[in-house]
Chains A and B, each alone.
Chain A
Amino acid sequence: MELGVKMIISTEECGYCGACVSVCPHNILELSEMEIIAHEGCEECAFCMVVCPLGAIKRGEK
């Protein structure tokens, strides 16, 4: 799933812990029971990528 133009979250690698949600400065992430929901407005700061324990969020090469 694409967050911003460059940020990509792998739903296969995600473990639904919510760490990324807590650091998003634009508050665009939301964790439902088994799905990360990304609303519009990602500024590609990559904070979510830094804290993800499983490395499920990556910066794509576009």
Chain B
Amino acid sequence: MKYDIVVVGGRIGGSTASIFASKNGADVLMLEKNQEIGTPVQCAEATSSRTFKTLEMEPSSKYVCSEIKGADVYAPDGTHGHLEGGYAEGFILERKLFDKHLAIEAAKSGADIMVKTMVKGLIRKEGKVCGVVAKHMGRTMEIEADIVIAADGIESRVAQMAGLNTSQTTKSLCSCAQYEMVGLKTDPDYLKFHFGEKIAPKGYAWIFPKGDNVANVGVGVRSNTENAYHFLKKFISNMDATPVELNIGGVPIRGPVEKTYTDGLMVVGDAAGQVEPFTGGGIHITAHCGRVAGEIAAEGIKKEKTTSNFLKKYEKRWKNEIGKDLKDSLKYRKILDKLTDDEINILAKFLKEQDLKSISKMSMLGFVKEYPQFLKLLKDLL
């Protein structure tokens, strides 16, 4: 078997890359190890309009459960801040349906897809990646390709096989557990975030409403002592609601990996650490990078240029377009990591009294005078 491009992984990163590579004339095969695209879900399903802009799609009720107007954020002592619109605005998806829809779009654009097919190795000639070795229901096959796009998620091994370092550490991976719960009374228009060492150490707990009193209720933690599921059970212990789905997973939160391309291969999405470190949001970033990878791959095929020297354009483009957002997000995450519960409480009380859009220098100075421990934080921010 021979294709121009083989895409490994059939969710957001894989389907987006396949759509844009196929639309630009390349012959694409997308491989997904699971028998059903989109399951098991490993996501709280919140995203922004940026995702749809990138995909050149309209948000459709086929896969959008609810529209979100803002967010309520709770400090460890319960101090509550409200965010309206802007960054906090967006949608809650039904990822199973959304991911399937994207795969359908990829197929409609001309991509071939094989499910229940797991990539086990790479074909390499003189160091360049030239295809994959895959296993489909017990049968091993070699598939040649001029370019391989690794969109194989957090459990990625494909980019590592090509010599890229995509591994995570216990500090850089947020461990998550979530129940989709029915009968939960929560404001259907707003996300809820809860912070605190006892609620979700080095992470946060969330409630994302899907409409009709259904919500994703989850926690993301970095803890050496207790696992995410332990904190989830604690968080829901007083909720009068019934779980209908358990989702678990790891979110990479130290920013993109060092290098995202090599001879004949690009890596996108979770596999490349392309996730906003502060929020853990990866859908819009993965879609963006998937699109860039798909377009660059198709261009490389047309020009018969598939080595590192050409594929570095992929990294240059995504860094140009979203690199700064990811860097800023990492900065905020690192600042938050350093704050104790008490400090978050103090900060939350201060911010609550300010008009966030026109926060004055005088009020900041007054605050830092009263709480000098925040001086360094302020310096880091500015």
B-contacting residues of A (Cβ < 8 Å)? Answer: 15-19, 21-25, 27, 30-33, 47, 50-55
CB pair B154–A22 under 8 Å, yes or no, is yes
Q: Is the interface of B mostly helix, strand, loop or mixed?
A: loop
- Which are the 3 A-B pairs with shortest beta-carbon distances? A18-B155, A19-B250, A53-B228
Residues from chain A with a CB closer than 8 A to the CB of B168 are 22-23
CB pair B167–A53 under 8 Å, yes or no, is no
Residues from chain B with a CB closer than 8 A to the CB of A31 are 155
The answer to whether A54 and B167 touch (CB under 8 A), given A17-B248, A22-B156, A31-B155, is no
20 A-B pairs in the complex with CB atoms less than 8 angstroms apart: A15-B248, A17-B40, A17-B42, A18-B249, A18-B250, A19-B173, A21-B157, A22-B252, A23-B167, A23-B173, A25-B167, A32-B33, A33-B33, A33-B34, A47-B170, A51-B250, A52-B175, A53-B228, A53-B229, A53-B248
Mark out the residues of chain B between 136 and 162 whose CB falls within 8 Å of any chain A CB in the assembled complex: 153-157, 160
CB pair B169–A47 under 8 Å, yes or no, is yes
CB pair B157–A30 under 8 Å, yes or no, is yes
CB pair A23–B155 under 8 Å, yes or no, is no
Question: CA–CA, A33 to B227, complex, Å?
Answer: 23
Residues from chain A with a CB closer than 8 A to the CB of B223 are 50
CB pair A51–B229 under 8 Å, yes or no, is no
CB pair B248–A51 under 8 Å, yes or no, is no
Q: Size of chain B's interface in residues, with CB distance under 8 A?
A: 33
In-complex Cβ contact of A51 among B35, B157, B175, B246 (8 A): B175
Q: In the complex, what's the smallest C-beta–C-beta distance from A18 to chain B, in angstroms?
A: 3
**Given A15-B246, A19-B173, A53-B248: 4 more A-B contacts, CB < 8 Å:** A22-B167, A23-B168, A51-B250, A55-B227
CB pair A22–B34 under 8 Å, yes or no, is no
Interface residue? B82 (CB, 8 A): no
Interface residue? B116 (CB, 8 A): yes
The answer to whether A53 and B250 touch (CB under 8 A), given A19-B173, A22-B167, A23-B169, is yes
Residues from chain A with a CB closer than 8 A to the CB of B35 are 33
CB pair A54–B227 under 8 Å, yes or no, is yes
The answer to whether A54 and B170 touch (CB under 8 A), given A15-B40, A19-B175, A32-B33, is no
Residues from chain B with a CB closer than 8 A to the CB of A47 are 169-170
Question: CA–CA, A31 to B33, complex, Å?
Answer: 10
The answer to whether A27 and B169 touch (CB under 8 A), given A17-B249, A33-B118, is no
CB pair B252–A33 under 8 Å, yes or no, is no
Could you mark each residue 159-200 of chain B with 1 if its beta carbon is under 8 Å from any beta carbon of chain A, else 0? 010000011111001011100000000000000000000000
Question: CA–CA, A54 to B64, complex, Å?
Answer: 29
CB pair A53–B33 under 8 Å, yes or no, is no
The answer to whether A27 and B229 touch (CB under 8 A), given A17-B42, A22-B168, A22-B250, is no
CB pair B248–A54 under 8 Å, yes or no, is yes
Q: In the complex, what's the smallest C-beta–C-beta distance from A43 to chain B, in angstroms?
A: 14
